[in-house]
Amino acid sequence: MAAGTLAPSPSDSLQELPYAPQNSPPAGGVPPAIDLVLGATAGCLACFLTNPLEVVKTRLQLQGELQAPGTYPRPYRGVLRAAVAVCRADGLQGLQKGLAAGLLYQGLMNGVRFYCYSCAEDAGWTRYPGGTVAAGAVAGAVGAIVGSPAYLVKTHLQAQTVSAMAVGHQHNHESISGAFKSIYQQHGVVGLWRGVTGAVPRVTVGSAVQLATFASAKDWVCERQWFRKGSWAAVLAGGMVSSVAVAVAMTPFDVISTRLYNQPVDADGTGKLYRGFLDCILQISNKEGLLGLYKGIGAVYFRLGPHTVLSLFFWDKLRSMVQH
């Protein structure tokens, strides 16, 4: 979530599969260990196509940090104009800033998420009321913790640009390896997990809401005969409809996560702007207004739908290849 969000097994045109009883073969005929690899691969393929929106989203969320609306310059205005601004400042390749770190994050986070969710399915936990949402939320939280260092570096790299277009703190890393090395040398292993308190709620909420809305949204567009049931057009439309709910629920957590990851820190690793998750919420609300928590919602929305569908599409195809 990625941010992309976890969804039920995509087999059978992404219809939710019957829950397997305990001690039955793995859901979809694929062991959890294989799902780890397939989920990571699918997330990386989707990330490559949606990373430009992630760059735009990061810039929009850092713009006007802790400043009252109307009191700061806005080099980034809306999704399309922000994308053009990125290209002008950093060239066309600027839209793929932080791609290596993003791929690492998606590989770690999605691999762990799909693995945990597959284990929950095999154990029969998802057959209980609310089990699907709970399993998705827990799997998302575990994935967020594992992938947090990569998300930290990704945010730093995507925020970096020329001084005239800079928003948020500029960490000035030269490469992904240099970023990891610099953070580790200055703040140790703990420093690599700075900002994780914002990432866990972000992915947990995103996973839970997406699981609760994706299948119903897909059925809704088919019931209105907008698209043929089982077609990928219906899946894409369902993903975009579902993404409205996910974007509204997740964007505040996404903004908080971006701010916590990107803020400058003291020598001891303490944030200079925010003391933690709750302090970040309060400061943004007080200084930027409640709408400050929804900065970049357009980019979040336009990224979530395609990323969700692409991740599931690639996962489904990879699963089919393994099974046959």
Dihedral angle of Cα 18, 24, 29, 31, to the nearest 10 degrees: 120
**How far out from the chain centre does Cα 262 lie?**
16
- pLDDT of res. 80: 96
**SS3 letters for 123-149?**
CCHHHCCCHHHHHHHHHHHHHHHHHHH
Residue 129, in any domain of the structure: yes
Residue 73 neighbours by CB under 8 Å, 6+ apart: none
Q: What is the CATH classification number for the domain harbouring 107?
A: 1.50.40.10
Q: Which domain holds residue 79?
A: 32-323
Q: Are 86 and 95 in contact (CB under 8 A)?
A: yes
Q: 8 by DSSP, 3-state: which?
A: coil
Residue 16, in any domain of the structure: no
- pLDDT of res. 10: 37
Angstrom distance (rounded) from CA 317 to CA 255: 33
Residue 3, in any domain of the structure: no
Residue 24, in any domain of the structure: no
Residue 20, in any domain of the structure: no
Region of 73 please: left (phi>0), alpha (psi -120 to 50) or beta.
Answer: beta
- pLDDT of res. 29: 61
Residue 14, in any domain of the structure: no
The count of domains in the chain is 1
- pLDDT of res. 117: 87
Residue 7, in any domain of the structure: no
The Cα angle at residue 74 between residues 68 and 79, in degrees rounded to 5: 115
Backbone angles phi, psi at 215, to 5 degrees: -65, -45
* Ordered mean pLDDT values, 10 residues apiece, the chain (324 residues): 43 31 44 87 91 97 96 95 96 97 95 90 88 87 96 98 96 96 96 94 86 81 86 81 90 96 93 96 97 95 82 76 77
Specify the pTM: 0.85
Residue 318, in any domain of the structure: yes
